[in-house]
Amino acid sequence: MPANPAVSPLYAHAVTLTAVFAALWSSFDSSREASSQPLLLLAGLLYAALGTVGLRRLEASPPTWRQISGYFGVMTGLLIVMLESSGGHAWLAGLPLLSHAVLLTPVAWAAVGGVVFTVAIAWRYPIDQARPEEVLMGVGALAVFVGGFSFVARREMEWRARAEKLTARVVYANEKLKDYASQVAEVSRAEERHRLAREVHDGLGHYLTSIFVQLEAITAVAASQGRPVPEGVARAKRLAREGLDEVRQAVAVMRSHEERGPALEDALRRLVDDVGDSLTTQLEMEGALGAVTPTIQHATLRIAQEALTNVRRHARAQRVHLRVEVDEQALRLRVEDDGRGADGRPAGWGLEGIRERTSHLGGDCAFGTSPDGGFFVHVRLPR
């Protein structure tokens, strides 16, 4: 199959039009009969049109042998008409056809065509009564020049096309490398989360469980002896239970892989269900939550978890409203309660963690006391 010539329109069209104009000018200026001039002019115009428009069609896509054969067949026929009508004076019109042959066909074929053209001009058309040897030298030298220049142009365009392909391959390889690096980083993060989950579960979880069991034993002994349970013991027992719940939730989140974890809607519903009966929680979800990236889903769940934990620990609220909505630009999370608000206290580690997580993902967050006295956390994460 022929290679895509990727012909430069400016170069090829300029050669064609210039050569045809020079050939017609030379022919009309000769002593040929006026009756042949209309046919010469018509053939010249068709030759110039096909040499520009037809070549443009061939360069639009890799041409087939049938297309190339048809193009050169018609162009050669028009060239013969011009030569016969001008007595050989229109021989300059053959040079762009030679240039096109170098650009479109194998170089050996173009060289054979150039030799045939030069010999035919020298022996078939005695231009200005010159000897065939003289015509052969002159036309041959010009044909070699045009063919050599076209060959250099072809090589330059081939190298340019090859450089563009190599550049595209490098860009593609770079993108794949970024994807692989992202996958490796994700696997590393998942392994680190699992390691931390094991450490938290086996370490902190074990000690909190032991503390809770001991406090249960103290409560049981006090009840069996008919003595009231000290307030400090009851409070420590409650804190130990909440600590165990937090450990279980943290371990569950760290062990869940973002790609394979539960859907964000289900995870938020379970999170709201885990709040308990002491706090009335209203959950609203709008938009395609499952369409956002796993990273954004994971961050949304962790932020919602931290916000609800703050409500339970500090807000002294009766109701909390959690709303998640997704549009084409971002995911928005709103957590609002009817508690006591910030109450002049600085932001704790939980809120700082929300701010850092949001900033890391290119989003923004706001929290503080709402006009009606409760506390709010508003987060926007870009998709």
| Cα distance from N-terminal residue to C-terminal residue, the chain | 47
pTM value surpassing 0.75 = no
Q: What are phi and psi of 325, to 5 degrees?
A: -135, 145
For the residues 270-276, what does the mean pLDDT come to? 77
**If pLDDT is split at 50, 70 and 90, which confidence band does 22 have?**
low
The answer to whether the CB of 358 falls within 8 A of the CB of 377 is: no
Give the ranges where 35-131 is alpha helix by DSSP (H).
37-49, 55-59, 65-86, 94-104, 107-124
Please write the tens of the pLDDT for every residue from 65-88.
Answer: 888 888 888 888 888 888 888 777
- Chain mean pLDDT for the chain: 80
**Residues 213, 208: Cα–Cα separation, whole Å:** 9
For the residues 253-274, what does the mean pLDDT come to? 70
Percent of the chain with pLDDT over 90: 9
pLDDT at 380 over 60: yes
Q: What are phi and psi of 64, to 5 degrees?
A: -95, 165
> In the chain, what are the domain boundaries?
9-170, 262-383
What the block records as the tokens of 67 is 């297309």
Collapsing DSSP states into helix, strand and coil, what is residue 331? strand
Please write the tens of the pLDDT for every residue from 307-320.
Answer: 888 888 777 888 89
Percent of the chain with pLDDT over 70: 83
**Residues 164, 368: Cα–Cα separation, whole Å:** 55
pLDDT at 303 over 70: yes
Question: Could you give the angle at the alpha carbon of 200 between the alpha carbons of 254 and 217, nearest 5°?
Answer: 130
pLDDT at 364 over 90: yes
pLDDT at 167 over 50: yes
The answer to whether the CB of 64 falls within 8 A of the CB of 44 is: no
Specify burial of residue 300 (Cβ count, 10 A radius: 0-12, 13-18, 19+).
buried
For the residues 228-235, what does the mean pLDDT come to? 80
Q: Long-range pairs for 157-164 at CB < 8 Å and ≥24 separation?
A: 157/5, 157/6, 157/7, 157/8, 158/3, 158/6, 160/6, 161/4, 161/6
Please write the tens of the pLDDT for every residue from 41-53.
Answer: 888 888 888 887 7
**Residues 95, 93: Cα–Cα separation, whole Å:** 6
Higher pLDDT, 174 or 186: 174
Query: Which one of 3.40.228.10, 3.30.565.10, 3.30.2130.10, 3.40.50.510 gives the CATH number of domain 262-383?
Result: 3.30.565.10
Q: Please give the torsion angle defined by the CA atoms of residues 37, 43, 49 and 50, in that order, rounded to the nearest 10 degrees.
A: -160
**Residues 308, 189: Cα–Cα separation, whole Å:** 25
CA 290 to centroid of chain Cα atoms? 22
- pLDDT recorded at residue 23: 64
For the residues 211-226, what does the mean pLDDT come to? 83
pLDDT at 379 over 90: yes
pLDDT at 130 over 70: no
pLDDT at 157 over 70: yes
- pLDDT recorded at residue 259: 43
- pLDDT recorded at residue 376: 92
Higher pLDDT, 190 or 333: 333
Sheet strands side by side (includes 330-337) = 280-286, 319-326, 330-337, 375-382, 364-369
Higher pLDDT, 34 or 3: 34
Q: Tokens 């050939």 map to which residue? A: 23
Range name among 138-152, 171-185, 192-206, 283-297 with the lowest pLDDT average: 192-206
Higher pLDDT, 159 or 41: 159
**If pLDDT is split at 50, 70 and 90, which confidence band does 100 have?**
confident
Higher pLDDT, 330 or 188: 330
Range name among 7-16, 124-133, 315-324, 340-349 with the lowest pLDDT average: 7-16
- pLDDT recorded at residue 19: 65
